[in-house]
Amino acid sequence: MEADRSLSSPPLRFGVFELDTSTGELRKQGFRVRLRGQPVEILRLLLEKNGAVVTRQEMRDRLWPDNVHVDFDRSVNKAFVKLREALGDDASSPRFIETLPRVGYRFIAPVEAVAPASPVPRPIAGPPPKARTAMRAWLLGAAVVVAAAAVVLVRSFAPAAPRVVATVPLTHSADVKWGPLLASPTALYFDRQKAGEQAMRLPISGGEATVVETPFPWSELFGISPDGVDLLVGEVPADPRSAPGYALWIVPGAGGSARRVGDVRADAATWSPDGQRIFFVRGPVIAAVSRDGTGRREILKTTGELDLPHVSPDGRTIRFDRATKDGAHIWEVGVDGTGLRRAFPAISGTNGECCGTWTRDGRAFVFQASGGGRSNLWIAIGRRPPAPLTAGPMNLELPAAGAAGSRIFAIGVQAQGELVRWDAATRRFEPFLDGISAEGVSFSADGAWVAYTSYPEGILYRSRSDGSERISLTSLPLRAMLPQLSPDGRRVAFVGWLPRREPEVFVVDSDGGAPARLLPGEQKALLPAWSPDGRSLAFSGSLHDPAGVRILDVATGKVRLLPGSAAYAGPVWSRDGSFLLAAALSPSRIVRYDFAKVSWSEVTRRPFNYFSLSRDGKFVYFDTRWELDPAVYRVPSAGGPVERVADLKGIRRAAGFAGMWFDLAPDDSPLVLRDTSSRQIYAIDWK
């Protein structure tokens, strides 16, 4: 019966692979992959149940009869190692096979059956037997020649998977380098973060970078003209709240007089291939103007946050980043405003893609895709589906095309952080908890226990405050952020993120165990906060999609909505339980809900990044990151004057899964994660 099933099944195709289910032969882009035995049988079983979970017991039943005794766990683990190696798959960031801890495995890539070739019709009549024998010999010889030629042709014309052949570092400095990278035939341009952002010029072969002179102190690079002479630069205002968008300027890269592009204000911009027009993004709009800012024409008005537009070398298509509630992806639209669509289908094992650029000849499009805590470069050549170009070990971001079609540039990031605490006596940030690379730090009510997530991996840990008795509470692919340790230290609520799922709240015992969803099926359940008695959890959606502040009775599972909270998110409970803080955007403000009064009041109306409440409940602390003079402030929790507490201007902050995190230590001193990552620019050759 097994043989009948295999012989009757058509070949199955997934990605660049094809499995002949009758012979067990695996091919990649037409070429055979050396794989046999148990790995092939496991692959066949996973493909048969495409999208459904295959338990380890099912694998045991299929691969090993009852009368065969083996070390099953060791054998199946070894088989999976070989299978993933053959597919180029990564268990921590899978494109094909997803591991479901304690459950089994699932094939997650699209699978299609390959239609069989049309049968060859039998001849109605043939030549006499002797002539037939001679003809058969002649045909056999001809067939051999044709088959050999076919092999040569297949090997000559079958597209090879793109691969990196050389990676060369161009910088070695400790300063923070941001993109987008812009490339001319002789130089690379990037933004350096130093108090604010400055445009920098780097020789194309590497070396020492120099400042690009602009008529304003801080700037943000947008684009470079096709001839590599002029830069599009946004003027960063001293107060980002003073006007929407950045004033757009044309700045000669090698020095010279800068000039305004009319009265255009933009969030991002790029040139047309002929250098005569400028395409820019402002809010949900893409528009075009001439070089002097005249002749404005709106191309597209849509929803979401738009960024980094790029026009194809043939001038027909605009690709751009678009972030909506469904995720961040690259979209495209015609320069006439028609044909809006996702540029690529969903890429298995990634959370989204961004920051793309065409090669100069238009043959390929290179972009950044993130998944499993990693950012890698992908490439789409012609009409072929995107393929991974890099796979670690460092993150690669913000690619730029070089003058040669086979060279690209990118920022390589080796992420690392250091937990630091503000020392009021020295007025400096000093290492805290031995300077671990962690964020989302949360303490029990007595300060004896601490929970945190590792940076950049996003694994949840619990330990004593001195670092002893540390255990991990989660494992990949579940990524944890913003943990909240219950007042008694026995449970941890956290935001968890699984591949291809929306973030949601989980709860896990602090001594270990399987994390459980707070509210299975509940949408927009984020940002948890324990009540002082540990019997309730407040939660909300995000600040961009709040959905109100809700309170869950942990014992009964009942949920109630706080009245008047529809626009609020991010609850923080006071330790005496008398009030709760939340926040809102548009305008940016922190608010307070008094349970006795059943009413909301405004604490402060100022831009903020994160906010927290002092142990005695008297002060609300918050940090800023958008201003050129960032700091930590505090304000009375009942409202009042704002007081500056700590200076953040000279500290590089790491941006984790939940942005630039901030909170308070048990003594109410500010905590942040200092960025100690290496960010260097690399030249990457591929073929």
Q: What is the CATH number of the domain that holds 20?
A: 1.10.10.10
CA 20, CA 35: separation in Å to the nearest integer? Answer: 12
Cβ atoms of 411 and 417 within 8 Å: the answer is no
Cβ atoms of 279 and 268 within 8 Å: the answer is no
Higher pLDDT, 188 or 32: 188
DSSP 253-309: TTS---EEEEEEEESEEEE-TTSSEEEEEETTEEEEEETTS-S-EEEEE-SSEEEEE
Phi, psi of 198 (to 5 degrees): -125, 140
Residue 8 lies inside a defined structural domain of this protein: yes
Contacts of 537 (CB under 8 A, 6+ apart): 493, 505, 507, 518, 528, 529, 530, 531, 551, 552, 554
Contacts of 566 (CB under 8 A, 6+ apart): 546, 547, 548
pLDDT at 352 over 80: yes
Q: Name the least confident of 186-190, 273-277, 544-548.
A: 544-548
Higher pLDDT, 376 or 74: 376
Residue 679 lies inside a defined structural domain of this protein: no
pLDDT at 137 over 80: no
Q: For residue 441, which amino acid is it?
A: V
Q: For residue 552, which amino acid is it?
A: L
Residue 589 lies inside a defined structural domain of this protein: no
Cβ atoms of 492 and 451 within 8 Å: the answer is yes
CA 15, CA 43: separation in Å to the nearest integer? Answer: 14
Question: Any idea what DSSP says for residue 628?
Answer: S
Phi, psi of 242 (to 5 degrees): -70, -30
Confidence of residue 512 (pLDDT cuts 50, 70, 90): very high
Q: Which of 424, 316, 399 is nearest to 684 (CA)?
A: 399
- The pLDDT of residue 242 is 60
- The pLDDT of residue 344 is 94
Domain residues for the domain of 49 are 2-113
Residue 219 lies inside a defined structural domain of this protein: no
Ordered alpha helix ranges (H), 453-559: none
Residue 331 lies inside a defined structural domain of this protein: no
Tell me how many degrees the CA angle 676-429-662 measures, rounded to the nearest 5.
75
Give the chain's domain count: 2
Tens of pLDDT, residue by residue over 554-580, are 999 899 999 999 999 999 999 999 999
Confidence of residue 497 (pLDDT cuts 50, 70, 90): confident
Confidence of residue 221 (pLDDT cuts 50, 70, 90): very high
Q: Mean pLDDT score of the chain, rounded to an integer?
A: 85
Considering the chain, what percentage of its residues have pLDDT values greater than 90? 56
pLDDT at 113 over 70: yes
Tens of pLDDT, residue by residue over 165-200, are 999 999 999 888 988 999 999 999 999 876 567 899
Residue 683 lies inside a defined structural domain of this protein: no
Tens of pLDDT, residue by residue over 574-617, are 999 999 999 987 788 999 999 999 999 999 998 899 999 999 99
pLDDT at 139 over 60: no
Question: Any idea what DSSP says for residue 101?
Answer: T
pTM above 0.75, yes or no: no
Q: What is the CATH number of the domain that holds 465?
A: 2.40.10
Residue 142 lies inside a defined structural domain of this protein: no
- The pLDDT of residue 626 is 64
Phi, psi of 55 (to 5 degrees): -80, 160
- The pLDDT of residue 14 is 84
CA 456, CA 438: separation in Å to the nearest integer? Answer: 8
Q: Where a domain ends, among 513, 533, 568?
A: 513
- The pLDDT of residue 129 is 37
- The pLDDT of residue 477 is 86
Q: Where a domain ends, among 83, 113, 143?
A: 113
Tens of pLDDT, residue by residue over 362-387, are 999 999 998 767 899 999 998 899 99
pLDDT at 145 over 50: no
- The pLDDT of residue 142 is 41
- The pLDDT of residue 500 is 67
Q: Where a domain ends, among 94, 113, 132?
A: 113
- The pLDDT of residue 508 is 96
